[in-house]
Amino acid sequence: MSVAKRKLGSSDLSVSAISLGCMSLSGTYGKADDAEGIALIHHALDRGVTMLDSSDMYGWGHNETLIGKALAAGRRDGVVLATKFGQVQRPGGANGVDGRPEHVKAACEASLKRLGVDVIDLYYQHRVDPAVPIEDTVGAMGELVKQGKVRALGLSEAAPATIRRAHATHPIAAVQSEYSLLYRVDAEETLKTTRALGIAYVAYSPLGRSLLTGSVRQIGDIPEGDGRGRHPRFAADNLARNLGFVGAIEGIARAKSCTPGQVALAWLLAQGPDIVPIPGTKRASRLDENMAALDVRLTPAEVSSLSAAIPPGAAAGGRYADALMKAVYL
């Protein structure tokens, strides 16, 4: 099945306008089953998804291994395989960050082995390391391109000044960060820079970790072991406030006979052809719903109405807990 494509910066990579974030297949949002995860990936590819987004820290290698198994069944061709490096385990504390050139090279070799491939299509620095000049990290990433181990480079959660310095060192094809109707401040500031440099914007958590779908109405709707139970935006008072914004989405969804999640994705797609949302899911039915958002057309008036109903900075609760916010937008 073929779906609309969007280009990743000045690279030669084009990907499905909605692609798949794979983090949830490694236990972040409650228990995950490997066989079901592989089946979901195959279903996504059958539905026209062409980019799979992973990281070496999703399940600390599990996610890449799972994707490798899914692609080993003759499914590698036509897939843009994206993964990330840079976060490292620190027992008893928050994750560390390592952007040293030697870590870049070692992490890439480990990811290639887990994925079972010879080349990674899009390789991101997952978090910026404030102790290592971005020129050194991206310089090492550029060496991987020269060696044929990586096709294009990306940054995740990088601030505009960092993006400019990185892009001056080696072309950056994509910047990935959180972007949705609920979380726009950092994203819209970053877009000014990515657009000036011709870089694509890959939007993770485009459904606000399901909040914009209206499927979570109270904290009890979140399964035990699901990371959303510890997320600031789902805390009782914050959840009540954030749900107040969902009504505007639901109104348009009723008028268009579609779901709130599809409206939220359609709004994001309408922000520009340089944006690629990567909603994650463990369920084929939810993936089908997300892909059907490509057929939802919002008028300019509807886009403006949603933007005004949920203005930048309106969401209650941070993008992450305070300790984790120290590692983003650097």
DSSP three-state, residue 23: helix
Give how far Cα 130 sits from Cα of 93, 135, 162, 174, 326, Å. 18, 12, 10, 20, 11
- Find the farthest-apart pair of alpha carbons in the chain and give their distance in angstroms, rounded: 54
Active site residue 58: yes
Cβ neighbors of 143 (< 8 A, separation 6 or more) are: 105
Whole-number Å distance between alpha carbons of 41 and 22: 9
Whole-number Å distance between alpha carbons of 56 and 62: 8
- H/E run at residue 52: strand 51-53
Active-site hit among 29, 58, 179, 329: 58
Q: Is 74 left (phi over 0), alpha (psi -120 to 50) or beta?
A: left
Interhelix angle 284-292/260-269, nearest 10 degrees: 50
Pairs from 314-317 (Cβ < 8 Å, separation ≥ 24): 314/182, 314/245, 315/182, 315/183, 315/208, 315/233, 315/242, 315/245, 316/233, 316/237, 316/238, 316/241, 316/242, 317/231, 317/232, 317/233, 317/234, 317/235, 317/238, 317/242
DSSP per-residue string spanning 109-157? HHHHHHHT-S-EEEEEESS--TTS-HHHHHHHHHHHHHTTSEEEEEEES
- Catalytic site positions: 58
